[in-house]
Amino acid sequence: MDAPRSGRAGSHPIGRLDHSAYLAMPRLPGLDGLRALAALAVVFFHFGGPTWDRLQGWIGVQLFFTLSGFLITTLLLREERDLGRIRLRAFYLRRVFRILPVYFLLLGLTVVFVSIGGNLTDSRLADALPLYLVFGNELVDYNTPFGVSWSLGVEEKFYLAWPALLLLTAAVARRFTLRLGLVLAGIAVLLVGARWSSLTLHYASILAGCLLALVLHQPRGFAVLRPLTRPAVAVLVALGFVALQLTIVPLRDALGGGWRAIVPVYAVAVALLLVAVVAPGPVRRALESRPMVFLGRRSYSLYLSQSMAASAVSTVIPGPSTVQAVAVSLFALGMACALYRWVERPAIRHGRRLAEPRGTATVPA
């Protein structure tokens, strides 16, 4: 994400975080660490075998969704506060250069390698390609070598619609109330819609993050959640989240309704965890460690590289197994490091230059 990102800037003395200190943070610490854990959870779910299946690492994608909603909404609200307006052109330019270069490079490489292997038709990648080219990834209802990208289709539609909706409501006298009502109504409709299409649940997870950002941006809303910023409480929240992750399967069975029943519960848990993570204390420090930040900043490329990495690793290490999952993670991380250095960072810098004309004041990134 462009901003606010993880880092040590904007630190606050140990104790509860107050609203003014939260709003003054140029970066939201600890979130890179969450990205790292979510990406690795998905990789180990895909390639780690039955042991990791029971931990339901697939649900780490929902963490990405809620985190995206929270970050993007926070960015837009702070821009509106600091500049008096939301700049759609600048937002879309930053998103285009953040997401598209790595995405299309890896899609192209996947097509090339699958074609060389003579499997372009058998793998159904050729059938899915028209949807992949327009980010209809979540509509591909069969497995392909680029199937892991389905979550990008969901997020791109959110990036397209949500900033425009915030802009449309910017001139309303009670815009916070209107926006809050829209998000709550959207979540309700999406949860009801899950009876017919499970895709709606993913957007509900994103809106959970949007809701959190709206609430924290307002003094009264922040005051309600402020107890979670106490270091001791934040630790309990983090431990509770770990316990939830470890008991996804029995909880899912207890609730009934399969995974559709657990996703809303998980999204709420992620939202509470985000409050605990940005607050000063041991949880934030653990997620701010150098290895976690290193992995988190490369998590986008690591996530998209996992299938290609698995194709290379599986020729040497059969699986699925924990050993294969470790090997795939390391191979994908190597690819991600190269992509981060040679593709992601240059593209992000270029996008920011295009989004910010010379002499224009910018919201901290």
- Convert the pLDDT of each residue in 300-348 to its tens digit: 999 999 999 999 999 999 889 999 999 999 999 999 999 999 999 999 9
DSSP states of 155-212 as a string? Answer: HHHHHHHHHHHHHHTTTSTTHHHHHHHHHHHHHHHHHHHTTT-THHHHHHHHHHHHHH
**Confidence band, pLDDT 50/70/90 cuts, at residue 15:** low
Give the type of residue at 188: A
Query: 256: alpha, beta or left, given left = phi > 0 and alpha = psi -120 to 50?
Result: left
- pTM (2 d.p.): 0.92
Q: What is the pLDDT of residues 114-150, one digit of tens each?
A: 999 999 999 999 999 999 999 999 999 999 999 999 9
Structure-block tokens of residue 222: 């922040």
Peptide bond into 4 cis (omega under 30): yes
Report whether 3 contacts 365 (CB < 8 A). yes
| Euclidean distance between CA atoms 28 and 278, whole angstroms | 6
DSSP structure class, residue 17: P
| Euclidean distance between CA atoms 241 and 261, whole angstroms | 17
